């Protein structure tokens, strides 16, 4: 079966095998990682390795801290303005469902002035709006973007220049699949469950000078406290961190981000080519803003979309149904998704097209 699901996770086979082998007895400890104290030397090694590998893969500069937290990217929607923007202005770009949620969370915080400086809502979020310097208030705490909109399938190819205003990015659905430079951002955050590992872990990469001075009313949301506690203020999601470490090792063995980016370009390229040359299928998204990881597409009617999804599933092409808010189909091609699955989808699209007079 090929799983085109947008989430929670599609994990590499070798990683799942390794986790299975080590499930009952981690490196001779006669314990599962799940049973091990998070203060034990074995777990301390796991979390240190996970951080080291992520730093290498993303080339994270020394003046950034890496936090392994919980609560999903959604909790960061609130944590960010609370840590960075109290009594200040927070700027947002609205590119779809996930930016909207981030904006809504910031708007709930009374002493944060939330301002949406650009939006692609006028064209149903099918493009990334241009961000020019004149849109940016120089005294803002940050400019928030969603590097990849998982539902709409649009993605930043270039990170906007906001001058001295730090860019804060929700990178949940394309962290480690695009070659963004960490130094272009003040904060990067991501729910782990697409390219990193199972749900339960949230990664935050934050430039040190952006850590809050005053402590926050809620310790679990306090970036400085979490950084000072080395992500061990409370029990961290130990098993998810262990799985993330295995995924990072897998990715490093493959050749790291440059290599996976090439693979992702090939996978998405094959699918977009098939869509673009088809008389039956089309992509709703502006060509230069297309996502590598989430590819929405449509036939000529919602009835035919349904038939396609049903018939595809019978061929082992699972979870191609688009998000309920946009309809149609969506193929999610995260790092662990194999090329052979994309080929199978493209072949099936051609068959379906012929059967429907294409």
Q: Does 146 bind ligand PLP (CB under 6 A)?
A: yes
Residue 277, annotated ligand binder?
no
Residue 193, annotated ligand binder?
yes
Whether 195 contacts 213, CB under 8 Å: no
Q: Which helix (H) or strand (E) holds 324?
A: none
Q: Does 195 bind ligand PLP (CB under 6 A)?
A: no
The Cβ of residue 325 has, within 10 Å, a number of other Cβ atoms equal to: 10
Q: Does 7 bind ligand PLP (CB under 6 A)?
A: yes
d(C-alpha 54, C-alpha 66), whole Å: 9
Q: What is the residue-wise DSSP string for 176-200?
A: TTS---GGG-SEEEEESTTTTSSTT
Beta carbon of residue 95, minimum distance to ligand PLP (angstroms, whole number): 10
153 vs 160 by CB, closer to ligand PLP:
153
Can 250 be counted among the known catalytic residues?
no
Whether 63 contacts 207, CB under 8 Å: yes
Q: Does 72 bind ligand PLP (CB under 6 A)?
A: yes
83 vs 332 by CB, closer to ligand PLP:
332
DSSP-derived letter for residue 290 is B
In the list 2, 4, 64, 98, the residue contacting ligand PLP (rule: CB under 6 A) is 98
Residue written as tokens 């469902």?
Answer: 97
Cα pseudo-dihedral 262, 267, 268, 274, rounded to 10: 140
The Cβ of residue 124 has, within 10 Å, a number of other Cβ atoms equal to: 12
Beta carbon of residue 335, minimum distance to ligand PLP (angstroms, whole number): 15
Beta carbon of residue 73, minimum distance to ligand PLP (angstroms, whole number): 4
Q: Does 358 bind ligand PLP (CB under 6 A)?
A: no
Footprint of ligand PLP on this chain (CB under 6 A)?
A: 7, 72-74, 98, 146, 150, 170, 172-173, 191
Q: Mind telling me the catalytic residues?
A: 98, 170, 194
Which residues participate in the annotated binding site for pyridoxal 5'-phosphate?
73-74, 98, 150, 170, 193, 234-235
């Amino acid at each position: 079966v090929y799983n085109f699901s947008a989430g929670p996770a599609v994990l590499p086979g070798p990683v799942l095998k390794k986790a299975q082998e080590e499930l009952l007895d981690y490196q001779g400890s006669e314990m599962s990682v799940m049973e091990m104290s998070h203060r034990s030397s074995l777990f301390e090694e796991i979390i240190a390795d996970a951080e080291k590998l992520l730093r290498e893969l993303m080339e994270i500069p020394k003046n950034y801290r890496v936090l392994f937290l919980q609560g999903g990217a959604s909790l960061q929607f609130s944590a960010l303005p609370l840590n960075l923007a109290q009594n200040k202005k927070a700027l947002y770009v609205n590119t779809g469902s996930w930016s909207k949620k981030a904006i809504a969370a910031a708007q709930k915080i009374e002493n944060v002035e939330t301002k949406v400086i650009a939006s692609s809502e006028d064209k149903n979020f099918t493009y990334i709006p241009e961000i020019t310097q004149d849109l940016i208030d120089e005294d803002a705490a940050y400019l928030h973007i969603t590097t990849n909109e998982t539902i709409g399938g649009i993605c930043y190819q270039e990170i906007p220049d906001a001058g001295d205003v730090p860019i804060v990015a929700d990178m949940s659905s394309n962290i480690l699949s695009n070659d963004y430079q960490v130094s272009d951002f003040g904060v990067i955050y991501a729910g782990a469950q697409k390219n990193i590992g199972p749900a339960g872990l949230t990664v935050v990469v934050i430039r040190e000078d952006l850590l809050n001075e005053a402590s926050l009313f809620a310790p679990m949301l306090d970036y400085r406290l979490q950084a000072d506690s080395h992500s061990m203020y409370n029990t961290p999601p130990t098993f998810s961190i262990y799985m993330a470490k295995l995924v990072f090792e897998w990715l490093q063995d493959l050749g790291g981000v440059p290599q996976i980016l090439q693979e992702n370009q090939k996978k998405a390229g094959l699918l977009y080519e098939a869509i673009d040359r088809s008389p039956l299928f089309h992509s709703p998204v502006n060509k230069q803003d297309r996502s590598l990881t989430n590819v929405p597409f449509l036939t000529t009617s919602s009835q035919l979309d349904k038939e396609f999804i049903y018939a595809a599933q019978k061929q082992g092409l699972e979870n191609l149904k688009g998000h309920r808010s946009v309809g149609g189909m969506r193929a999610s091609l995260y790092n662990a998704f194999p090329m052979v699955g994309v080929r199978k989808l493209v072949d099936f699209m051609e068959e379906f097209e012929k059967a429907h007079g294409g």
